[in-house]
Amino acid sequence: MAARRENLAALRSRGKDPFAQRRAEVTATAGELLERYGFLAATQDAAAEQWSLAGRILSKRTMGKTIFADLGDRTSRLQLYVRKQDVGEDGFADWNDLDRGDLVAVRGYMFRTKLGELTLHVTAFRAIGKALRPLPDKWHGLQDVEKRYRQRYVDLIVNPDVRDTLVMRSRLIAEMRRFIDGAGFYEVETPTLLHLAGGAAARPFVTHCNALDKAMQLRIATELNLKRLIVAGLERVYEIGRIFRNEGIDTTHNPEFTMLELYAAYWDVSDMMEFNEALIAHLVSVATDGGTDLPHGDGAISFQRPFARIEYLDAMAQCSGGRYTRERLLDSVAAQQILGELGLPASPTHGHALDKIFERVVEPSLIVPTFVSGYPVVISPLAKRRADDPEIADRYELFCATMEISNAFTELNDPDDQRARFDAQVSERLAGNEEIPEPDWDYVRALEYGMPPTAGIGVGVDRLIMLLTNARSIRDVLLFPLQRQHG
RNA sequence: GCGCCUUUAGCUCAGUCGGUAGAGCAGCGGCCUUUUAAGCCGUUGGUCCCGGGUUCGAGUCCCGGAGGGCGCACCA
């Protein structure tokens, strides 16, 4: 660091203070130039066309009166070629005071070196920012996982894979919006700060509002407010927003994460399944440059439409050799017995038991994209019952690579049924299940004004991005994953 | 919360049986006008995560603590 400060002082003494610079002319990015001049043959140049670009020096190779360096900008990395005879004595001295990590604006023309690399022959340049701290090892980059997450800015500078993944995330979410907007949905933003967090089973974060002198909660879902907007007549709404759940942290859980929730009036769960399948297939195509197969681990998963479809109860039966029948699963006592057979601890509720059984018995086999339809009503408090089977809800979940990717159902719009299910939840809550939220009675009031038949879906965006980018940990698709504080 | 692993130079890592701290890269000084993990010669650089203990002597052994990773548990 001392050496870098000396170089900074040297630049300043020649009137080239990098921190005094206000802006840089940029007429091209590294990526654009690499594409545009792909036709150049070795040693051939395009000296007639001058370009200006800006970025960070990622490496520097000095060879006497010549310097090769790599410039990185948001698109790519481009080699620079600087000759003393082009930039003069002073200019060359300035280059010697530039360190790896410094920010520069350069001007020059493209050529291809005799070893075949497209390179910018620099005719003019200027330091526009100085790195007082050295960059990590040019070859190994930053490996220390802890430092990578804590100092993500460094990770992003030196590890191209990290940047590629996070840039892909940005593109995929933009694509998701474009696709949904194209279907006539309004994007809305509903409050994060609520008096009562509902719409899912999860422990909320609690905070305090000084102005109201009230305890508040951070939302655990956007569901109830979005459906209020369906009551309000917006008909097609969605939100891509941050959700907070005060639970564990591991490779598939971060306390705050991004969820897509979308509601369409006049659709049922089958319409939603169509839409869901089209959306996922589209995103796979974007992620794979037009393909249908996603790399996953060492292999690949095909997202060729149509995806597999199976009934929840059939899946349970098949994966248990017929032992877990409808009768047993839908009976609270029998379901607990199954837990015992599986060697799992007893669950506080029937619903919890079903989730555990499914997780153990069915989920591990759900590798290819599969819609699992017809969840029991006991684990679907906000979903409509099937017309011909009132114990089963009109609901599906999409699984892929054993991860739940989306959860959708025909929304329950009968206020009396909704009130009854909330009452049942109150009992569960009193029985000690802390994840069951307090009922939001105003939501029932909203339903009393009339909600059209509606289908809704929730998609865990981070896990979807993990799938689409073949990331092993949710932290790899988050810019700043939560870390414990030092000290 | 439990178990296993891990923390040494700016970065990536080695460090034997407990004997006084090492390499590569980066940096610094030199040579080099098409290199690309440039090369060659020379050279600087340490809170060995923190706190105790055992010992003549601890990076190394013991106890406690902190951070991180993985697994389990928790978590639609």
**Dihedral of the alpha carbons of A391, A395, A401, A403, in degrees to the nearest 10:** -80
Structure tokens belonging to residue A136: 């990590």
The enclosing domain of A27 has a CATH number of: 2.40.50.140
- Provide mean pLDDT across the span A428-433: 75
What local confidence, expressed as pLDDT, does residue A343 receive? 83
Task: Quickly give A286 CA vs B72 C1' distance in Å.
Answer: 37
Identify the residue whose Cα has the smallest distance to the C1' of B32. A64
Same-domain pairing of A98 and A187? no
Same-domain pairing of A229 and A377? yes
Same-domain pairing of A12 and A65? yes
Same-domain pairing of A124 and A165? no
Task: Quickly give A336 CA vs B32 C1' distance in Å.
Answer: 78
Q: How confident is the model at residue A478 (pLDDT cuts 50, 70, 90)?
A: very high
pLDDT digit string (tens) for A397-411? 999 988 899 999 999
pTM over 0.95: no
Same-domain pairing of A212 and A129? no
- Provide mean pLDDT across the span A156-178: 93
Closest to A38 (Cα-Cα) out of A106, A108, A122, A111? A111
Within a domain: A312:
no
The nucleotide whose C1' lies nearest the CA of A487 is B66
What local confidence, expressed as pLDDT, does residue A486 receive? 64
The nucleotide whose C1' lies nearest the CA of A137 is B11
Contact A262, A435 (CB under 8 A): no
- Provide mean pLDDT across the span A375-404: 93
Number of domains in chain A: 2
A223, pLDDT greater than 60: yes
Question: What are the distances in angstroms from CA A303 to CA A150, A307, A312, A487?
Answer: 35, 7, 21, 46
Model-level ipTM above the cut of 0.90: no
User: What is the C-alpha separation between A213 and A326, in angstroms, rounded?
Assistant: 50
What local confidence, expressed as pLDDT, does residue A249 receive? 85
Cα angle vertex A334, ends A331, A339, to 5°? 120
Task: Quickly give A484 CA vs B17 C1' distance in Å.
Answer: 39
Positions of chain B reached by protein Cβ under 7 A: 1, 10-13, 24-28, 31-39, 66-76
The nucleotide whose C1' lies nearest the CA of A251 is B70
Identify the residue whose Cα has the smallest distance to the C1' of B66. A487
Contacts of A3 (CB under 8 A, 6+ apart): A99
Question: What are the distances in angstroms from CA A399 to CA A312, A363, A367, A376, A396?
Answer: 12, 8, 7, 17, 10
Cα dihedral across residues A227, A229, A232, A234: positive or negative: negative
The nucleotide whose C1' lies nearest the CA of A136 is B11
Task: Quickly give A8 CA vs B31 C1' distance in Å.
Answer: 26
- Provide mean pLDDT across the span A450-471: 95
Task: Quickly give A485 CA vs B60 C1' distance in Å.
Answer: 30
Identify the residue whose Cα has the smallest distance to the C1' of B35. A68
Task: Quickly give A140 CA vs B30 C1' distance in Å.
Answer: 28
Same-domain pairing of A170 and A127? no
Identify the residue whose Cα has the smallest distance to the C1' of B31. A64
* Domain interval for residue A449: 158-307+368-477
- Provide mean pLDDT across the span A340-362: 87
